[in-house]
Amino acid sequence: MQIDILSLFPEMFAGPMQSSIIGKAQEKGIAKIDVTDFRRFAHNKHGHVDDYPYGGGAGMLLQVQPIAEALDEVKEKHPHTKKRVVLMDPAGETFSQSKAEELVKAEHLVFICGHYEGYDERIREYVTDEISIGDYVLTGGELGAMVVIDATVRLLEETVGNQDSIIGDSFSTGLLEYPQYTRPREYQGMTVPEVLFSGDHAKIADWKAKESLRRTWQRRPDLLINYPLSEQQKQWLDDIKREESDG
């Protein structure tokens, strides 16, 4: 997968994009990430890429011309790839695991990271996706782009050593992940559930599924509103609610 990032602060990506899973993905040639400083495309001696909004208003807007010309350069470097251009924007679709699973199918992702008060509206004519990582304000789109890239790249085949760990991740199944344990078996009075030592794979699978459902009901009940529960899950959920009320 080819990933291009358009940013006024390319140095912000130096560490995160070269570390951990993303760094390994690049070493393996599974992903390639390039960052372009779109200030290079400013048509003035001061390198300004923003200006005051027509009609008045607070703050400054990113101009369409530097972004458009930066995109042209990316297209010239990769003329044969099918691109999805992602605008990091508070007004965009809230990012989710399902969106990451959609983006990972792309051949080429291009991220536009904004700054200042907002964008010249005409920039949106060049994009295919508008994404927000949450209902809060950041200084710019760089951190948001890193989040989206991280969540997407780790889904690329062979990026993570154990693909089963991805399948079981929270949100990948639509529910939160079940509790997990490792050594020691007992620590300061806290013990590991006995079922995990039973060797009965069917019982362990049922325990994991039920505890995943329990954690989702306790922490993110909103995820269950439209979730297609099986008959078994409905029974488990009734049991969980009864256990909690008796508890």
Q: Kindly indicate whether the domain formed by 2-153 is annotated with CATH number 3.40.1280.10.
A: yes
The single residue of 101, 117, 130, 177 carrying the catalytic annotation is 117
Return the domain boundaries, the chain. 2-153, 169-246
* Local confidence band at 160 (pLDDT 50, 70, 90 cut-offs): confident
Report the alpha-carbon angle 69-74-76, nearest 5. 90
**Does pLDDT of 1 surpass 80?**
yes
Binding residues for S-adenosyl-L-methionine: 114, 133-138
Q: Please give the CATH superfamily to which domain 169-246 belongs.
A: tRNA(m1g37)methyltransferase, domain 2 (1.10.1270.20)
The CA distance from 9 to 139, in Å, is 11
Contact 27, 88 (CB under 8 A): no
Is 154 considered catalytic here?
Answer: yes
The tens digit of pLDDT for each residue in 9-61 reads 999 999 999 999 999 999 999 999 999 999 999 999 999 999 999 999 888 99
Which DSSP string corresponds to 185-217?
A: SEETTEE--GGGGS--HHHHHHHHHHHHHHHHH
Q: Do 2-153 and 169-246 come out as alike in CATH topology? A: no
Is 10 considered catalytic here?
Answer: no
Percent of the residues in the chain that have a pLDDT greater than 90, as a whole number? 88
Q: Mean pLDDT over residues 172-183, rounded?
A: 91
The tens digit of pLDDT for each residue in 77-122 reads 999 999 999 999 999 999 999 999 999 999 999 999 998 789 999 9
The predicted pLDDT at position 158 comes to 84
Is 90 considered catalytic here?
Answer: yes
Is 221 considered catalytic here?
Answer: no
* Local confidence band at 218 (pLDDT 50, 70, 90 cut-offs): very high
